[in-house]
């Protein structure tokens, strides 16, 4: 059997180039016929190739031509459109320029002092060259963190609740409060930053102690920053303690300080008196005062005994400590007073923690708890009736009342015509409250 041979036949039919690309015509195909001689295929009849697009009727072409006439006319007119837009734009821009020239310039509101201080802290931080208001703010925030951390170690199971808040006019603060703990029935450590405006009556009142305040203005910008602390222990043998250090300044509209002063202090309020606790607390304060002026402690201790006096009860709130206010440039320069406040703040934990650590687990009964509640009633009376700080806070616009009243105990008690027994521990503490003692 002979091998298959390829056979190539050329067709005489016309070949479309388009169809060649898709389907090669038989004339260009190579075919194999195994086992028999190759024979040419039968030629196919000629079929003219169909057009790719069928011709449209004449009527349709006429409709299309008529429809395109408006577009052709629009294209002819389009040459004039850019010139019209340019003319309208020139008139519109001219009107804007005329309005800017003839009408007064509207200036945006200048940033407030609080805004500028915030930008300064963010861009440059707080350094020794920063304004005192920023340095005091940084100090009280630092000390707040240290004190809260130390108190938390006494009762790790009961965490402080931390609330951060802000004021619409600028400033804000952080309140750290613990309630119903194992050591403290209520403990609060707050920082407060206040920017505001003093009205004319407040300016006149402050000028009594601060002559640098401008008397000829109707209002004045002010800044106040303070750290306030009150700890009410569960155990009646452990004393309540209060601390507050603050800074106040007035400023012109550019933020330049024109009057400033420091204030503050700390005092101890025991339910039952332990002389060794009183001596330790007062000695810690005295050591801090003596670093700066040996006259500070006796002067500020007397001021404290006088300030924390409850006139309607004719007794003191506690056994004292130190208290001062309105310390300005007439006392010492700003840097010296700032260093004094810093040392007083640093003396707090060494002066109080050993006392509460020693007394927090001592046994007590219902009688001791009842006496503690009665003494806390006196604490409430002083804070709501006599304390200038509470009054100032509650009368400040947008004040955060919860933080101001943080100083009040969680529980208190008032009994009608209660009298301490003769020769009792309760009578002894009452004697000291009616007649202050020099402890160191």
* Structure-block tokens of residue 203: 């300016």
Could you give the CA distance from residue 93 to residue 83 in angstroms, rounded to a whole number? 16
The set of residues, in sequence order, having a beta carbon less than 8 Å from that of 236 and lying 6+ positions away, is 271, 272, 364, 368, 369, 371, 372
Cβ pair 177, 404 in contact under 8 A: no
Q: Which two tokens stand for residue 219?
A: 């209002």
The dihedrals phi and psi of 18, each to the nearest 5 degrees, come to: -65, -45
In this structure, the number of other CB atoms found within 10 A of the CB of residue 60 comes to 10
The per-residue DSSP string of 22-62 comes to HS--GGG--B--TTS---PPPPPPP-PPPPSSPPPPHHHHH
Residue recorded with tokens 């409709």: 63
The alpha-helical segments, DSSP class H, found in 169-295 are 200-206, 275-290
Q: Write down the catalytic residue from 232, 242, 280, 282.
A: 242
- For residue 195, give the nearest of 236, 243, 241, 250 by alpha carbon: 250
Phi, psi angles (nearest 5°) of residue 160:
-70, 140
Indicate if 280 belongs to the active site. Answer: no
Rounded to whole angstroms, how far apart are CA atoms 81 and 90?
A: 15
CA–CA distance from 247 to each of 224, 233, 362, 379 (Å)? 6, 28, 38, 25
Query: Which contiguous run of DSSP H or E holds residue 164?
Result: strand 161-166
Catalytic residue list: 242
């Amino acid at each position: 059997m002979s091998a298959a041979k390829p056979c190539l036949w050329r067709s005489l039919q016309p070949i479309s180039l388009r169809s060649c690309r898709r389907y090669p015509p038989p004339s260009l195909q190579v075919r194999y016929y195994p086992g028999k001689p190759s024979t040419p295929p039968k030629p196919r009849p000629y079929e003219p190739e169909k057009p790719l697009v069928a011709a449209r009727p004449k009527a349709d072409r006429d409709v299309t031509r008529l429809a395109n006439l408006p577009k052709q006319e629009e294209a002819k007119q389009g040459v004039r459109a850019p010139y019209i837009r340019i003319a309208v734009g020139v008139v519109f821009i001219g009107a804007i320029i005329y309005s800017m020239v003839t009408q007064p310039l509207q200036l945006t509101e200048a940033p407030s002092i609080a805004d500028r201080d915030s930008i300064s802290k963010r861009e440059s931080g707080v350094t020794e060259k920063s304004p005192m208001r920023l340095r005091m703010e940084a100090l009280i925030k630092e000390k707040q963190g240290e004190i809260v951390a130390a108190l938390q170690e006494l009762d790790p199971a009961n965490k402080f609740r931390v609330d951060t808040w802000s004021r619409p006019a600028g400033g804000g603060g952080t309140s750290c409060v613990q309630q119903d703990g194992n050591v403290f029935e209520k403990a609060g450590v707050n920082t407060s930053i206040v920017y505001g405006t003093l009205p004319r009556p407040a300016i006149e009142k402050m000028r009594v102690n601060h002559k640098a305040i401008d008397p000829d203005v109707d209002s004045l910008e002010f800044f106040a920053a303070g750290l306030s602390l009150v700890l009410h222990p569960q155990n009646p043998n452990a004393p309540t303690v209060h601390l507050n250090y603050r800074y106040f300044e007035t400023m012109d509209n550019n933020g330049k300080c024109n009057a400033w002063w420091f204030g503050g202090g700390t005092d101890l309020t025991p339910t039952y008196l332990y002389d060794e606790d009183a001596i330790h607390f007062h000695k810690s304060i005295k050591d801090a005062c003596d670093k700066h002026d040996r006259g500070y402690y006796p002067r500020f201790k007397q001021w404290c005994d006088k300030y924390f006096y409850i006139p309607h009860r004719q007794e003191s709130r506690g056994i004292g400590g130190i208290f001062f206010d309105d310390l300005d440039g007439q006392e010492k320069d700003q840097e010296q007073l700032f260093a004094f406040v810093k040392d007083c703040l640093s003396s707090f934990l060494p002066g109080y923690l050993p006392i509460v650590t020693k007394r927090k687990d001592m046994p007590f009964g219902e009688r001791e708890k009842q006496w503690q509640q009665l003494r806390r009633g006196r604490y409430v009376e002083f804070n709501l009736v006599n304390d200038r700080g509470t009054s100032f806070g509650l009368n400040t616009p947008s004040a955060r009342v919860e933080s101001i009243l943080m100083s009040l105990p969680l529980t208190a008690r008032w009994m009608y015509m209660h009298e301490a027994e003769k020769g009792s521990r309760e009578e002894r503490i009452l004697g000291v409250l009616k007649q202050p003692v020099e402890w160191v």
